[in-house]
Structure 1
Amino acid sequence: MTDNVSLISGVALRYASALIDLAEEQGALAEVETGLNQLEALLKESEDLDRLVKSPVFSAEVQTKAISAIMDKAGITGLTANFVKLVATNRRLFAIASMIAGFRAQLAARRGEVTAEVTSASELSGEHIAALKEALNASTGKNVNIAAKVDPSLIGGLIVKIGSRMVDTSLRTKLNSLKFAMKEVG
């Protein structure tokens, strides 16, 4: 398992484990992965849906009906739809984002993949991402997926996190180190 899994609650992890085992047993891993990606995208783009999922005000029946209608409209069917409906019926819909993250983490672990969180001062080109991925694959011995973020406050350089390891080559960090060193001298 990756270190990301430790950040996921026990309930979410148990549901994610059950889903991945069932999906593997039924040969539907790709279908479930696609459905969960669609659901996650819907949750990110709709504040109302996010509110429905997280609010304890809505009953299990209301949440189940609403999420069923949304999944039908989005074309999310099969095992993924049944899983989400079960989660809603059991009043655990508030943890669906963690369940999706847990599913992804376990799937990546089974595939021998790790995710590197890469933060840069400006957007990385496809060429740079490919070169970085190749270097990280060589250094870790695993297939590395890159989750890129942009933080202009870095000024330049990169921050790369893989599990509990982090390499910070940002200009901001180097300037801060220089500032502290100058304070000690002066």
Structure 2
Amino acid sequence: MSELATMARPYAAAVFKRAKETGSAEQWSETLAFMSSVLGSEEISTVIDNPKISKKSLLQLMQDICQSYAEGEAGNFLKLLVANGRLNLLPSITELFEAFKADEEGYVDVEVCTAYELSEEAKQAFSEKLEITLSKKIHMNVTLDPSLIGGVLVRAGDRVIDGSIRGQLQHMQKSLQ
């Protein structure tokens, strides 16, 4: 994954710079998300990986599927990716673009895993504490993972806060060995 991210970073940075210049970050966000979801299809990924499919045919296929999402600058970007054989980088480009956008807008996407369902009040209180801890506004996505036994596991970018009982037991096990 890190190799893909390394190759995708210049493309994502260029798209983000252009989106900032034109004030079209939301539009680019939607476009990249749509194109990435198209590539997530098993049928399309099979076509992309087929060396017998010409770049021209591949570009036409993607333009037909993406239609209004592949117009103007987005269409040129799609042509560039196909011409350079980098269409497979689109999901990584999308992820990096969203990270650049979040950083620019002063928020961070946070994944919170809990052992039990949180009430709305608990989510709100936890969200406020995380904003203070991370010094940014957050967009929180909460999932359930009963294997945590209790507590929470928080992922914010490359930062992980493990307050789960499972994590504490694993730490204790390592300490005893």
State the TM-score bracket (shorter-chain normalisation).
Answer: 0.7 to 0.9
Q: How does 1:8-157 map to 2 (within 5 A)?
A: 9-44=5-40, 46-53=41-48, 55=49, 57=51, 58-72=53-67, 75-76=68-69, 77-122=71-116, 124=118, 126-157=120-151
Q: Note if contact 1:23-1:79 (Cα within 8 Å) is conserved in structure 2.
A: no
- C-alpha change, 1:27 and 1:159, in structure 2 (3 Å) is same
Q: In structure 2, how many angstroms separate the alpha carbons of the residues matched to 1:151 and 1:78? A: 43
- Residue in structure 2 matched with residue 3 of structure 1 by the alignment: none
Size of the aligned set, in residue pairs, is: 174
Distance in 2 (alpha carbons) for counterparts of 1:169 and 1:161: 11
For the 8 Å contact 1:154–1:172, the answer to whether it is kept is yes
Q: Which runs of 5+ in 1 are unaligned?
A: 1-5
Q: TM-score, normalised by structure 1?
A: 0.77
| Offset of residue 178 of structure 1 | 5.7
Question: Alpha carbons of 1:48 and 1:169: their partners in 2 closer, same or farther (altered >3 Å)?
Answer: same
The Cα of 1:111 is off from its aligned counterpart by 1.5
Gaps of 5+ in 2: none
AA at the equivalent of 2:78? V
Retained in 1: the 8 A contact 2:63–2:75? Answer: yes
Q: CA deviation at 1:114?
A: 2.1
Distance 1:128 1:89 in 2: 50
The Cα offsets for residues 22-80 of structure 1, whole Å up to 9 and x where unpaired, read as 12222222211121222233444x22123334x152332222111111101xx424433
Shift of 1:175: 4.0
Q: What is the Cα-based RMSD across aligned positions, in Å?
A: 2.7
How far apart, CA to CA, are the structure 2 residues paired with 1:36 and 1:154?
A: 34
1:155 and 1:48 mapped to 2: Cα distance? Answer: 39
Percent identity of paired positions between Structure 1 and Structure 2: 30
8 Å contact kept, 2:4–2:89: no
- Residue 98 of structure 1 aligns to which amino acid in structure 2? S
